[in-house]
Amino acid sequence: MLKYFVMTCEALMISAILTGACTGYAEQRYPKTGKITLFVGTVLGILGAAVMAYLKNATKLIDTSLWNMRNFIAAAVVLVVFFLVSALQKPMKCVGDFLPPILLCLLPALVIFYALPDVLAYPYVILLTEKTVLSTNFLLKTVGILFGLAMMVLIAAAVRRGMRRLPKPSDFLMLTLLLLVHTARQISVVLRIMLTKRMISSNHTLFSIAKFSSNHDNWFTFAVIGIAAVIPLILLVKYAKITELYHNPAEHRKLRKAQRMTRTWAGVILCCMVFSVLNLTSIKTYANRAVELSPVEDSVIQDGNVVVRFEQVEDGHLHRFAYVSENGVQIRFIVIKKPNSSAYGIGLDACDICGETGYYEKDGQVVCNLCDVVMNINTIGFKGGCNPIVIPYTIENGSIYVPIEGLLAYEKEFK
């Protein structure tokens, strides 16, 4: 659940902040048309993302990279036109109140159209492994996604309220900074797409830029969070005292209420931004931590074999044993009694695909520690896929005999 919460937040963080910022700015600057156009833009983005999520996962029609590139170029064109129109608004009175909000509404639409399809497709990805929507895992992961979406709605709403209250021209400055960072990221992604698709020839400089931007992609997210965190700071300074004139107690109460509301939303934005940083650092690390494998159990060395007695392993749970080679390498193997059978699944605690990462037991299932693939317990002991590497063994007198020679052949799997 936590992993999907973090994944959802990470995927949508920039979109949520930008949507909130564009909406708040439009509502303040263009009170007549801003609200409705930005609402339409957001809804269009969500509907487009839903269609894209379907097309990406149910058809072969979509080359995601190409669509992202189109999206980013369109966003850049909109951005340039928006700044031109904003700069020329006074001399060009004809553009009035309708053109800038229309351009602004396209930005959240495009950014949502880019980021949301992957999140909407998470349930489909989960179903690939869970097989049914009725499983506990599916439910928990879906709840994680829903919490993530709720968090993003809260962030967008808080940033919108904050932007709406920012004094001019700091609202324009904040919006410009957010859009510039976002555009810088989009340019870096377009470069990566063009290099990968070989639309342009690679050279050392271009590849170095692409490599750096790819390996530090989260810097853009943190930059956007950092800029958004300045919004409440400006609000807290501006609304520290009531500076507006009032003529009667009623007006004073109204101003005090506005001050309280502004400070409350400033606090909400600050809390959201601090939480977002924690979410994308500490919580993410925690959510993706490796599962600690159960300890190696005792076994007996006898006549060149590691001997495991049936009593040790007949409870139907996963058991881990090991032999330590002369080089000090611990060569692990697992044993599990197969369900509704007297047979045992025996294999190395490593697979060809994922190496020595090992397996753990969860809810009666054996799971690969690296790729989360759930093993069919009945096929443990057979070669293939992410199954444990097959090792030789014999069963005699109520014990499992695993030849040390057979284990040593796989010493290199355990570094």
Partner 1 sequence: MNKKLIGIALIAAIAASLTACGSSTTSTAEVSSAAPASVAEADTEAPETEAEKTEAEVKTDALAPGDDAAGFTEYPIFEDEEVGFLNVSAVYFQPVPMSGGNENTEDFNIHLEADVSALENNLGFGVGDWVPYMTVDYKIVASSGDTAAEGSFMVMSASDGPHYGANVKLPDADTYSIEFTFHSPEENGYLLHTDAETGPGGSFDEYFKDGNLKVTYEGWEYVPQEW
CB of 396 to partner 1, least distance (A): 27
**CA distances, 330 to each of 13, 154, 262, 401 (Å):** 43, 50, 61, 18
Q: Which residue of 31, 32, 47, 73 would you call a contact of partner 1, by CB under 8 A?
A: 73
Cβ–Cβ under 8 Å, residues 26 and 109: no
- Residue 399's H or E segment, with its range, is strand 399-403
Cβ–Cβ under 8 Å, residues 239 and 196: no
201 binds partner 1 (CB under 8 A): yes
Q: Which residue of 200, 242, 271, 290 would you call a contact of partner 1, by CB under 8 A?
A: 200
Instruction: Give the range of 143-151, 262-270, 338-346, 351-359 binding partner 1 by CB under 8 A.
Output: 351-359
Length of the chain equals 415
User: Residue 336, SS3?
Assistant: strand
- Our CB check for partner 1 shows the closer of 106 and 308 to be 106
Cβ–Cβ under 8 Å, residues 322 and 408: no
CB of 359 to partner 1, least distance (A): 12
What secondary structure letter does DSSP report for 283? I
* Half-sphere exposure of residue 137: CA atoms within 13 angstroms, side-chain side: 15
Q: Which residue of 136, 203, 248, 342 would you call a contact of partner 1, by CB under 8 A?
A: 203
372 binds partner 1 (CB under 8 A): yes
Q: Which residue of 197, 260, 317, 362 would you call a contact of partner 1, by CB under 8 A?
A: 197
For residue 322, which phi and psi values (nearest 5 degrees)? Answer: -155, 155
247 binds partner 1 (CB under 8 A): no
145 binds partner 1 (CB under 8 A): no
Rounded CA gap, 126 and 141, in Å? 8
Rounded CA gap, 277 and 254, in Å? 35
CB of 123 to partner 1, least distance (A): 12
14 binds partner 1 (CB under 8 A): no
Establish whether the linkage from the previous residue to 169 is cis, with ω within 30° of 0: yes
CB of 255 to partner 1, least distance (A): 37
Cβ–Cβ under 8 Å, residues 359 and 316: no
- Residue 53's H or E segment, with its range, is helix 34-58
32 binds partner 1 (CB under 8 A): no
CB of 64 to partner 1, least distance (A): 5
Rounded CA gap, 179 and 72, in Å? 12
* Residue 88-127 contact track with partner 1, rule CB under 8 A, x = bound: ------xxx-xx--xx--x-----------x------x--
* 136-165 and 170-196 helices, crossing angle to 10°: 140
Instruction: Give the range of 37-45, 190-198, 244-252, 297-305 binding partner 1 by CB under 8 A.
Output: 190-198
- Our CB check for partner 1 shows the closer of 7 and 228 to be 7
User: How many residues interact with partner 1 (rule CB under 8 A)?
Assistant: 62
Angle at 171 between CA 166 and CA 176, to 5 degrees: 155
What part of residues 213-232 is at the interface with partner 1 (CB under 8 A)? Answer: 214-215
- Our CB check for partner 1 shows the closer of 171 and 413 to be 413
- Our CB check for partner 1 shows the closer of 20 and 345 to be 345
- Our CB check for partner 1 shows the closer of 215 and 397 to be 215
CB of 73 to partner 1, least distance (A): 5
Residues 304-339 as b or e (16 or more Cβ within 10 Å = b)? ebbbbeeebbeeeebbbbbbeeeeebebbbbbbbbe
- Our CB check for partner 1 shows the closer of 200 and 240 to be 200
Q: Which residue of 31, 47, 64, 242 would you call a contact of partner 1, by CB under 8 A?
A: 64
- One-letter amino acid at 129 equals T
CB of 355 to partner 1, least distance (A): 6
- Our CB check for partner 1 shows the closer of 32 and 211 to be 211
Q: Which residues bind partner 1 (CB under 8 A)?
A: 56, 59-66, 68-70, 73-74, 77-78, 81, 94-96, 98-99, 102-103, 106, 118, 125, 128-129, 189, 192-193, 195-204, 207, 210-211, 214-215, 352-355, 370-376, 379, 384-386
